[in-house]
Structure 1
């Protein structure tokens, strides 16, 4: 069981400080106290707390002085200030100095205290997680700069587990690497409201820069999920537009073909958007197999790009199949239209991504000019989804 979060209460009024400490302990936190700003800074130096509750008006060193010191020495330490009635200007000054929130004294009940403390601690954890992700990325960047094999290992590590369950679906996937390091990958994420998303991406070009973009995309999506973005943010049209803006903002000078789906099993609906992914993904259900012809501009080309979305009902036998355009380079003979028809036929008769790759004969080619990524999502018994 994890240790309780430790909170330091800095207030020169003994009765207020002791009352707040007791309320925090009832809420499951560990609480310490300090009678003024100087004592508070000494306590923080001895044992850094997870959060500080600090009064603004105190002798020796007031709350604004404490904030000034903490901003320089502990910029990531969350501080919630407490101010009496009529001291709104002090509270504004405190927020400008880096306070995360403020409470009016007397505090209007434990629920108000719990909300302010919980919100600040949640934000602190999110910032810490983002920092851990940035640290991890810096290590990966250094490895990639020196080692293409490390880039290939990274690319494979981004893929979801083959055969994993996502809601009522089974996910299978394949990645057939090219002779050069590239940027094809797929991923999934889950939202607190029970919906879950998936995407298949193909980063243009080869080499370390393309691999770095795959890391960036995965990290950005994970950050958005952790931040608890509004539910409407993950709708395909909004989500793809945000990804496009982020790719342009980071100036990687790479465009990305990406197909995105959002599954709402409570409503049995699949919402999709396409940013330049081709061949068209395949949807099979109710005995029918058809191409999901959704036009859309690749990510990273124009900031003014907009993306349409389309919804499909989910049936008990739904199967979704998508692959990146490298498949055309390794399929034998025929036009793009003929190859697309063969992909649709193979998708209908294959139970897993691995089987689809074998049916299309893709494993026979070892010197591939481009990666081939395949994503398959099947609902129910995958083997029962084969067409005769």
Structure 2
């Protein structure tokens, strides 16, 4: 705190009454700088939070609401010490409630004045610390806002990259139509789908859900797109019908080893499949994906069999390829586990039953399927919600 000679004494419109003041108080007042009005004080005061302002209670009445509000504002700006008269001791609490730093009486002794200045000094230190903390907080908030702005820009750019890697939807080939929808919980999604018709006969598709959320999970979806795309291009260029007839054999094993090699600590659940459009033979692998693929035909819905570990956790893991003959007219639905959040049932078994009930009559198109699951009504989902629909003759 400033030395007593640096105290500011606010005179006001008339000379303050200091009759009966002790020698110590008289000396304190004499050493103070006297200024006529608050504007002059602001002009002279180097730091209002640290330089005390000594004010006579006679010059600063608190009889009305406006007067009390004025003192409250003044006390918030300055370290106000009120000089009370001998008959004003009953107003001490009221002045403190209005925020003054301290009060002094004309008969205050040297020891009492020293204690007052010590308390004011402590309050000045406290205000200075709060001001420093506020500045640091404002700077931190500014840096945080700038970082969030950059992150949002990065995520929006990442979203455009993800969109560019998504397949055309819907995609038609003869009597078959495949389409998808992804509703991300953040800008970027950890869900990813891919599908394309190869060599005029095989429909290859995959449906993956990467662990976690945000940029790191989205990066794995991009990596997954290139890993699988490289395998498909190789079969196309070599016209390897034999390998396509056995697809997706070995695919998840390859993804598993490459994910482990990245060291990202990410894993994914996946359904990868291959449909021979001439024989309607579907071969697929399930890697811990829930819910399981749903087949709808003749008004009935059922989960396809199969299970397996997630990819990216266990070295040397293998996955069993399931095989099923599809009917002439069918819908095959793949859903990410985010869809469970849309169902009111508590147990997973009950949620799965509800899914079958909803989808058995609402899977002719992607729009009807989304309406049945209320996906279109969700603005901020807790988890990514993804759908892939493959139909024939529906």
Which TM-score tier does this pair reach, normalised by the shorter chain? 0.5 to 0.7
Residue of 358, 365, 374 corresponding to 1:361: 374
Aligned equivalent of 1:181: 188
Does the CA contact (< 8 Å) of 1:286 and 1:315 recur in 2?
Answer: no
CA shift in 2, pair 1:317/1:255, >3 Å: same
RMSD over aligned Cα atoms? 2.3
Tell whether the 8 Å contact from 1:269 to 1:313 is kept in structure 2 after alignment: yes
Deviation, structure 1 residue 287: 5.0
Instruction: Please give the TM-score of this superposition, normalised by the length of structure 2.
Output: 0.56
Going from structure 1 to structure 2, the CA distance change for 1:333 and 1:246 (only over 3 Å counts) comes to: same
Instruction: Give 2:198's aligned residue.
Output: 191
Q: Give the distance between the partners of 1:214 and 1:262, measured in 2 at CA.
A: 20
CA distance in 1, matches of 2:359, 2:265: 34
Displacement of 1:368? 1.2
Report which stretch shifted further, 155-164 or 263-272: 155-164
Flag structure 2 segments of 5+ consecutive residues without an equivalent. Answer: 1-149
Q: Within 5 Å, give how 1:245-256 maps onto structure 2.
A: 245-256=257-268
Counterpart residue number, 2:302: 290
Q: Does 1:344 align with 2:356?
A: yes
Quote the offset at 1:168 in angstroms: 3.0
How many matched pairs?
Answer: 239
Matched-pair contact (CA < 8 Å) for 1:331–1:361: no
Q: Choose from 232, 237, 245 the match for 1:225.
A: 232
Q: Does 1:212 find its partner at 2:223? A: no
Shift of 1:286: 4.9
Q: Counterparts of 2:167 and 2:200 in 1: how far apart (Å)?
A: 21
Q: CA deviation at 1:373?
A: 0.5
SS in 2 for 1:358: helix
TM-score with structure 1 setting the length: 0.57
Larger radius of gyration: 2
Alignment match of 2:392 (pick from 363, 371, 379) = 379
Query: Of residues 247, 269, 275 in structure 1, which corresponds to 2:281?
Result: 269
| Matched position secondary structure for 2:360 | helix
- Aligned residues of 1:182 and 1:205 also touching (Cα < 8 A): no
Any idea what the Cα deviations from partners look like across 1:237-296, whole Å, max 9, x if unmatched? 311211212222233321011101101122220011111110111012355421013111
Corresponding position: 1:164 with 2:196: no
Taking a change above 3 Å as real, the CA distance of residues 146 and 198 of structure 1, as seen in their structure-2 partners, is: same
1:191 positional shift:
3.0
Cα separation, partners in 2 of 1:193 and 1:161, compared to 1, 3 Å:
closer
- Distance across 1 between alignment mates of 2:379 and 2:343: 12
